[in-house]
Structure 1
Amino acid sequence: MWIGLLGGVHAVGDDGVPIDVGPPRSRTVLAALALSPGVPLPVSRLIDLVWGDSPPSAKALQWHIAQLRKALGPSAIARVGAAYRLDVPTDVELFRSFLRAGDAAAAVAAWGGVPLAGLDAPGLAGAVAGLTEEWLGAVEMDFSRRVSADPRSVVGELSSFVSAYPTREELAALLMTALCRSGRQADALAVYQRVRQHLVEELGVEPGPSLRAAEQQVLAQAEVPAPVLIGRAADLAAVAGALRRAPVVTLVGPGGIGKTRLASAFDGSFVSLAEISSSSDVPRAVADALGIVERPGATVAQAVIAARPSLLVLDNCEHVLDGAATFAAAVCSSVQVLATSRERLSVADEQVVVVSPLDRDASVELFDVRARAADPSYVGDGSVADLCGLLDGIPLAIELAAARVRSHRPAELLTRLDIGVRRTGSARHRTVRAAVQWSYDLLSAAERALFCRLSVFAAPFDLDAVADDSVLGDLVERSMVSVRFGPFGRRFRLLEPLRQFASEHLVDRAGAMTLHASWCLRQVSAVGELLAGPGEVEGVGRLAELWPNLRAAVTWALESGDLALADALVRPVVTELPLRGRREIGDWAEQLAPGGFWLVWVAERNTQSSSPAALPDTPDHPLSRYARAYASGDGQGLAQCLPEALSSVDDPHLRAFLELMPSGTLLGIGQFGHVDRTVSKLADRYRRLGPPTLLHWTLQTLGYSAMFQGRDPDPFFDEAADVELPPGTLSANKTTEARRAFRRGDQGKAFELLAAHIDELLETGNLVAASVVAVEFIAITKESMRDEASRVLGYLQHANDFGALAAQRLVNGLTTTSARMDDREALLYMRAVLSADRARLTAQRPPTGQA
């Protein structure tokens, strides 16, 4: 049985048949209780909510409670002292559970309509308004995702919502974005004008920063197809020609000249190096931008070559020139590189394109476009050309000046800027600095403080990073902060010349880093909730976006000695180390504490390494014993320390995860009953609550447990293979897909899948999975290639406890060879066998068109 409040108050039995809950007053009593299910509601409060200023006698309430109990069952409403409690699930609970999990689409789908529809309940109006607000927030979250995925498809639906809720600026901003991305800039601007008129006339307020930012975004695209590339036709042709001739092309020029924008015009994988400080950090910056997880035994450069992007753009190389040059040289034989820098990289076969200032006409055009974006009433005059000439035709300086036309006419800008530029000299880099200084001087104290504080962000950020979004909106209007729309909504950042200037003027760096870390903590906590539930795929995407900022926050916390803050920043995402190979977490873990919880993750990082290091000496702790047994593959030791280790972990998600981690080792010592009981419970948990990856892992574990016990493992493996996993997840899926293909008679497909998985393991250095691959290799080759299967069986017997048990239980009548191999040698051998057999099958296949 459950209680519905959305779309009207109603009840439905287990059989799906509606239950009559009585007259309107009884339904109001039920609604008041159902808005707080499981929570005792005092009689006095219940009477106040239902009857307001005309309270009846207590017997009236008792009568309605009695009627509801008759309808719903005596246990539905419990008496708790001087209070009543509803013990029946509600549709509002379901809706809110989806919200907490970050699944906005499911929350919107679960919304059944207007809360308490048809019920006259003034005392519950506040609760209804709150629920409606939650729903609208979910609607906005869902539309944000859908606009990013397919803007054209949501225009009609969004238009209806904007008409129904004309004061919801976020909905209007999303509609403008959808229209703009559908090529309907004029319609997007019309939406802005209608909403602004309504806000001004009905509420007496101007649009907020989100709507103003959307307007600026539309205006920037409405004037010309690519306003940021005004006057760059010849440069575009020069760069395109250079890319046809050379493996490495470097755009050189002073800051603010437009190198980044010019490079962004070419379709490629874009990597900003602006926020890193050392050449040694270049590979990690590339890994962050491309979503590459660093693996042992393979460099980021090798991973880039394997991914083969059409073009790799390395932006802002000048301060890490050696690192950028080394990385470009490492990949350019297979991947084309386009770099931007104030000087050349000096690598072999590099071609340099010098990015020059805009000519007079293009400078004026750019100023006019940006000025109209800042002030639709702007009208240029004869001073604009002189102003652009004073600014040396440098795009960033021109845009900063144009952003001020609301308060300064072009002639006034010319007079004010003339003083600043002449004082700093005529060199182009000084011109940009003078324009930035002048724009900075015109900011209010609050705008200056925020502008400087934002310089500590190592990557784009959202509105939650600032205390006053109106100040941020003002900085966006003045072109001091850039805004873009990404997969998770609007993101803000400072262009690199502006960030450097802001960093130099930042007075309280420790205070700025503290606020930055607080923002990161809120972000990573929300991401952690997604990763632990059904919203895992989104959580992985959000974490990838957050990672550079998270790294900066953790580094600062560790360097400043605030281990509690570092712990809080890393703990919500710590399972990403085993699930998706983020080995940097293990590096942080080693600095966090000498033993206990964090030693587990040092052990996991070391286990993933192709040459695992010994664990450091640490004080005795249940989790330290767990970590050492796990790292050494000591199944008996794990079995002994597991109960005490788990009892020392408070977080239920982490406790369940730590219970699952050693399952493979425990299978290796024959603890089938324990594994089946615990992992089956975990599988039920993950089916209901997520995350998908852990459901996948539990099903894989149960499959191998069934296999070792002589039962059919395929139902578990098939269900595991159908689970949608986030990108980058460490999984044995290809092995079970190979098993399924072989079972269906497609040996070629089975060999292809297994070979592809071996390639992946070798490329990523994830050699610990070799024994699992060997199990499947033997299963699909023991009939057709007995000698090869026997040799792998010899490896499997000595690989680890899991492999030894597999060799004992799974292979009937297969002779074991005495040759021994380590994990890498075994993978290479299996890969060679599979490749040779595929080549043989290809040679035997008749030419196209022949029988």
Structure 2
Amino acid sequence: MSVPLPAGDPVVGVLGPLEVTVDGNPVDLGGPRQQVVLAALALEANRPVPVSRLLDIVYGAAPPSTSRVQVQICVSALRRLFAEHGCGDDVIATRSQGYALQVPDTQVDLRRFGDLAAQGRRFRDERRLDRAVECYRRALAQWRGPALDGLVNPLLRPAADRLDEQRISLIEDCVELELELGRHHDLIAELTALVEEHPMRERLHGQLMLALYRSQRQAEALVVYRRARRALVDELGIEPGTELQRLEQDILTGNARLDPPEPAEPPRTGPAQPAATGPLLPVPAAPRLLPTDIADFTGRAEQAEAIERHLTGTREDRTRLAVPVLVASGMAGVGKTTLAVHVAHRLSDRYVDGQLFIDLRGQTTRPVDPNRVLERFLRVLGVPGTALPETLEERAEMYRHLVSGRRILVVLDNANDEGQVLPLLPGTPSAAVLVTSRSRLAGLPGTGHVEVGLLDPHHSVELLTSVAGPERMRTEPAAAAELAELCGHLPLALRVAGARLATRPQWAVSQLVERLGNETRRLNELNHGVLGIRASISLTYDSLPEQARRLFRRLALLDFPHFSGWVAAALLDQPGTAAQDVLDDIADAHLLETTGSARGVHSQYRFHDLIRAFARERLAAEEPVVDQGPALARALGALLCLADAAHRACYGVEHRDLRSDAPRWPVPERLAEELVSEPIAWLERERLSMLAAVRQAAGAGFTELSWDLAQQAVTLYEARGYFDDWRETHTIALDAARRAGDRHGQAVLSYSFGSLFDAQRRFSESRRFLDVALDLFGSTGNDAGRAHALQHMAIIDRLGGHLEDAMARCRQALAIFQRAGDLVYSAYVLHNLAAIELQAGNPNEAHRVLTEALDLSRRGGSRRIEAQVLYRLGETHLHLDEPLSAVDAYTAALAAVEDTADPIGRAFALCGLGTALLRAGKVDRSETTLREALRAAATVGDRLCEARALLGLGEFDLARDEPRAATAYLRRALELFRDIGTPPFVSRTLDLLARAERANLPPADA
């Protein structure tokens, strides 16, 4: 009997070679990679598969940089295949973070197999053995061969092996029932083939021996035993198990227990257990203590699958794991209990001897004592009160004895710590334990873990819809999405919001959105009947030690999107290690979430929006105002201390004359060194915190902290081209400095604004700010500040063709830096002087100046300035017609900018190297390098570098006699050079363009 399948839709098969048919016609599934993607989706049919999982399956531990794009291409190709066969374009649906293969369960052989097997187990438990065997055989008929046969993929193989294990286990279960029904004659041929295919499975050997014995073939049954023993000894060096040995002995003695059972056998409630000592124990009942499953359970497919996989592994897994235990942990209100109960109900068919459940009330002031839990469990297992032992140890022993060998699922909800859980663990691997807790309970040995996080936006709206009703969500979809966002995608908050809407049919969804928009009232609004966010979070907060509660409150002072251990150290004014421990205590209680993939000192944490609102309530209620300002100043000062260190690590020098007197909280030296060992990477991680800190410092009246943080962040903004952040932080800080009358701050920020517009090649605006900076530095007597402004103005003069002005300003700046003994910035000014000499047609003088600059930059320890000097040296060698020397210099510059993670410097170095390779006759490498330079320039948004790369490509096409192509590049370059305002480059481009256009003219006699 087969399961009827609707026509016109894809039928997917994984139980054998991967196969898809439509209306009985096979679909050509394309190449191996495409098939691997489809197989991964088919194994999880109708459940989302994250892209990260697909990347792991397709590419393993070392995916190429294009891996995500390649997977997207595979998905698109599969969608086209399905569409070409008339299946529509929604067979593979895009889900949050991944994809899902959407086909009815009846169209997937794996799902049909699972459903029929589960139906068979239900009939077996009801002792309707004929119906059970019928379902088992229909389930086994779904198989066409080994799972995913012929598909070679090491990361899909374990899943295929698990399916093959399920198949052979079901065969054994089916044969067991058929033997019980007296069908031993019919099974001999099948079992003979199976023991040949699976020579290590003792149960199959035993079943064949029994079938032969009952068919009056005793001698053959004993031959099967000897073959099985020889195989086990030869292959594994072990004797057969006690069950098989006992079966052999019973066959030799003709034990009556081997006779076929009576046709009708009364239902069994479970095996009787002998008592060891004390009163006779009862035959344990099959308890069913699970709470009602949630009718509107939403999402969580990945976590549910992980829990099931851990608790119901193969027999070999069970032996290795002993009692399978899994802890599902997460923050308050995230839905741990809902998930656990739902999965427990899904597993109830497997754990036929019962399911135990208890709320351990771990986050209350009085968690449930394990002794009381054992009293309850023993009573529901049939132990009368008069037989209950007194001590915890004795009750735990009796409990383990009663559930020994039984297929029981124990759900321990809301556990406080390991000590509450350990006495409640069964002793044999036939049972399984599912624990929920706000902590990971890492002290439980051999335990699996699943982190229960927030719902994605789609499932958040789905949960709201199921609680509040579909009509309102359909009529206000934008408001529904905003409501889910305001609830922080936290299931408890979503349920409260949905319940409020359900009980107020006159409300529009947008009304509740408006009420939740005020953060100070949000926790009050998210309260309905027995449901409430504040109460849920309070239980966890109250259970924390005092030091952790203090840090939790003080973290709410900060507007940072995330924070690391050094923030905790500053807020508590304690050493880094001690503060990190306190921070981890808060994270372990799931009042903070970890974010990103960084480890160690770079680990980052963040508040969930609703928990931040709760923390701010506690801050206002419990933290003295007199302590709040200093704590905030310490955190901002620590950030500034680390930003200083990152700048030093990049440039090898400190801009002391561009700093403020704002107090730096001294981050311990070793910790600071470890944090900024890769300075640009650290600044990148703290980028959003820097922006928030500048704004918060300005608002709190910490003016110097505000502008100093802004100008130190330029180390990152300049390297990565974050011009919007540069402008925003400086606008905020400059307004604060003007309000406070801080002339030094105004001077530094005006100079930095000039640098910003210089980097954007907006020279007229840059000059305006630099003029202001010069005046302010002059009025405050800050000569070093004037020197910085002068050398930037010299760059603008040079690019504008005003070489005499540029030379004069450079010499002024150089004199100031030399008097101060500043090696690094003396080298930088010399590098600019060399550029002026080149432009003036003096390459030999430029080479002399650059030799001095290179020595100073290396003695000063600034790899970044060294890279710029090397770049200019390459340019000088080109002017001296020494292209091979230029290639060497540009190659060294490229290595230096890659060391310092400077993408703009990399674009310029590639541009110079491409031109040098062309002049050296290395044409193929030249084109590749110039095209890479153009991509790099476009990525970082540097128009000058983009124009120079276009100029180089134009020169390249002229060299290979392709004037038409050259003209296109040169015209684009000319437009950019004119827009930027760089006459020397305009002139050079016009010369090359004239050559290209002359070459485009037809011959005179044409």
Instruction: Provide TM-score, normalisation by structure 2.
Output: 0.39
Q: Which has the larger radius of gyration?
A: 2
Q: Relative contact order: is structure 1 or structure 2 higher (C-alpha 8 Å, sep ≥ 6)?
A: 1
